[in-house]
Structure 1
Amino acid sequence: MIILRIPNWLGDAVNSTSILYNLMDNKNEVTLLMKRYVFPIFKHIDGVRKIVLSERISEDIKYIRRLKAEIGFLFTPSFSSALEFFLGGVKKRVGYATDFRRLLLSDAKKPFKKGELHIVEEYRKLILPYVENKYPYPIFIKGYFKKPLMGTIGIDTGSIFGEAKNWDFDRYKKVSEYFVEMGYRVVQIGRERRKKLVDSKMVENLSGETKLEELIDVISTLQIFISGDTGSMHIASALRIPQIAIFTSTSPEWTGPLNPYSIVLRNGVDCSPCYKRKCPYGNYRCREIPTESIIASARRLIKNTENLRPVAFLDRDGT
């Protein structure tokens, strides 16, 4: 019996799906422990038989004890998640030695520096050598594929992590105005409710209005998607939606989209990536990416992917 603690952040949860094929080999019985709000990511994945929704630490520990798991992999970096596995009696507790939890782990691996490896590669190294490396590592979400609506552009105007991670709202507005004038429909999404980008019937403001399952459904219909380093960026990557990913205070080497139809844009200032919620210097230079660069990249994506139907790797052989 293997138990896997799924990350709490939406983007990290999406990235963790890339490891499941190796864990869900026929020889392994796998249970996934996760927060309720990331459940829609996993509900349609073939082979997932047991999903436990984490509510309270005390209840999690009781359930883990009943499982009598041989191995537990922690894709979360927190002390509390390691404590749950420790008190739940998981025999082999595997995770990175972060957040002062080394003594709670039976196999405490040295953490990598942020950006040293892509986070998917960090997850892969965590499960080896316990699980045989048989299959490729696609990011995948199954069950939401629809024919893309040509002429529809999705925009997520911000991450809930903090100001430093967000490109300027006014610049998103200028991008939206340009494409509305060109006759495109713009769908505005995001976790938090924000004002409408453009006062036009061609702009639909769904920010703060969609549940996760609905958000995945909306993104799956887009011709292209524009966002910062957000959970929705990783969903678009998993669905192979042509996308522009704008990186400011974070690193595409660590959490960039694993999508062959993606363009990553960043300023490249020497203080980035800092991974801060707010700019320590107060100038937010990392966000100074010209609107013209986004528009030009979007036009190139549209031209190169007009006849492209979004594809995701769904099978164990990567097809």
Structure 2
Amino acid sequence: MPEAGERILVVGPSWVGDMVMAQSLFKTLKAADPAARLGVVAPAWSRPILERMAEVDEVAALEVGHGEFGWGARRRLAATLRGRFDRAIVLPRSWKSALVPFLARIPRRTGFHGEQRYALLNDRRHLDKAVLDQTVKRFVALGLPAEASRRGDFPVPFPSLRRDDANLAALHDAHGLGGRPAIAMMPGAEYGPAKQWPLEHFRTLAEALIAEGFEVRVLGGPKDAPAGEAIAGGLAHVHNLCGQTRLADAVDLLADCCQAVTNDSGLMHVAAAAGTRVQAIYGSSSPAYTPPLTDAAEIHTLALDCSPCFERHCPLGHTNCLRQLTPARLLAAIRAS
């Protein structure tokens, strides 16, 4: 019989984009030990994303609302994991995120210093933000020996999500898609409006793309539906799919698009991992910190003196870092790709 690999439990993040970026860690762990068994503690909503990752063997859903402590849920989940893992890697830096591996009595528990987690973690790492200057690097670093992680010169494999062709065909039929090359638009950004390109810019770009023979698919959650209608309303070949598809559907719909125009958002990272060429728009955030993890991306940022500010709302009230990024610039980039 082949020798059994290490059993590793990863406590995953709570945002779509971060969960996609966590696949870079999963790939690193499997490359080091192909026989390793990898489990991921994650919010239930993230299961469809994790199930598209070849490296993930098990998803342990943590049924806790965003911001809730959820002591009972964490304790119950830990009881089901006890004795089943050799090592745990805790990606979030909060105290509560380290509870499940501790309560599950996993022998080695790795994570960055933060929120006085001294008793919960026994392999605590110092976070040098100058060396680990990207979220994805911080994730991968926790899967490496301490000395290698401190150097910061390690490879970071790109995420890659599997496409389900049968589901894609069903989506085409259900929403009347196809017949033209498709371009996705993602107007939402959970963090706040300082990351959102103006809707009138999206609509102007959509009108130009339709005139050039494209189909446009506007993707997002239920909260993005009004934004999707502002873009798609009254336009032929523009489909407002916000709130009408599941997260797994977004993977397939994006993989089927030739390009995606997107704010710095979770769906930007999904598009990159689905293999779509990404036109990524940055306002209050920085492409140096959370870039799309793909070689097929073009970054659009004006790098004004006031940006990146990393605020949810523009402190100056004008959001010029986004408003002055014109639809003509994005159209030219799409044509050139």
Does 2:71 align with 1:63? no
Match of 1:277 in 2: 312
SS in 1 for 2:314: coil
Q: Is the 8 A contact 1:189 1:205 kept in 2?
A: yes
Q: CA deviation at 1:140?
A: 1.1
Please give the alpha-carbon distance, in whole angstroms, between the structure 1 residues aligned to 2:156 and 2:299: 23
Match of 2:300 in 1: 265
Please give the alpha-carbon distance, in whole angstroms, between the structure 1 residues aligned to 2:40 and 2:14: 12
* 1:107-256 alignment runs, 5 A limit: 107-113=123-129, 117-129=133-145, 137-144=157-164, 151-191=181-221, 192-194=224-226, 195-198=229-232, 199-256=234-291
Q: CA deviation at 1:30?
A: 2.3
> What letter corresponds to residue 197 of structure 1 in structure 2?
I
> What letter corresponds to residue 327 of structure 2 in structure 1?
T
Q: CA deviation at 1:183?
A: 2.5
Q: Deviations over 1:11-68 (max 9, x none)?
A: 0101111221332324433221111111111213334322111114423333324433
Q: Is the 8 A contact 1:23 1:131 kept in 2?
A: no
Q: CA deviation at 1:220?
A: 1.2
Q: Deviations over 1:53-95 (max 9, x none)?
A: 1114423333324433332111223221123333332332211
SS in 2 for 1:4: strand
Unaligned ranges ≥5, structure 1: 302-319
Match of 1:15 in 2: 21
Match of 1:48 in 2: 56
Q: Which piece of structure 1 moves more, 98-107 or 233-242? A: 98-107
Shift in CA distance, 16/205, structure 1 to aligned 2, threshold 3 Å: same
Q: Percent identity?
A: 24
> What letter corresponds to residue 233 of structure 1 in structure 2?
M
Q: Which piece of structure 1 moves more, 139-148 or 165-174? A: 139-148
SS in 1 for 2:236: coil
> What letter corresponds to residue 270 of structure 1 in structure 2?
D
* RMSD (CA atoms): 2.7
Q: Deviations over 1:206-255 (max 9, x none)?
A: 11221101111111111111001111111111122112000111111111
Please give the alpha-carbon distance, in whole angstroms, between the structure 1 residues aligned to 2:119 and 2:193: 35
Q: Is the 8 A contact 2:38 2:55 kept in 1?
A: no
Q: CA deviation at 1:131?
A: 12
SS in 1 for 2:256: coil
Scaled by the length of structure 2, the TM-score of the pair is 0.81
User: Could you say which structure has the greater relative contact order, defined with CA pairs below 8 angstroms and 6 or more residues apart?
Assistant: 1
Q: Is the 8 A contact 2:283 2:307 kept in 1?
A: yes
SS in 1 for 2:225: coil
Q: Is the 8 A contact 1:150 1:222 kept in 2?
A: no
Q: Is the 8 A contact 1:116 1:253 kept in 2?
A: no
Pick from 70, 74, 97 the counterpart of residue 81 of structure 1: 97
Q: Is the 8 A contact 1:6 1:74 kept in 2?
A: yes
Please give the alpha-carbon distance, in whole angstroms, between the structure 2 residues aligned to 1:260 and 1:222: 16
Q: Is the 8 A contact 1:154 1:225 kept in 2?
A: yes
Matched positions, count: 301
Q: CA deviation at 1:296?
A: 0.9
Shift in CA distance, 236/290, structure 1 to aligned 2, threshold 3 Å: same
Please give the alpha-carbon distance, in whole angstroms, between the structure 1 residues aligned to 2:44 and 2:179: 30
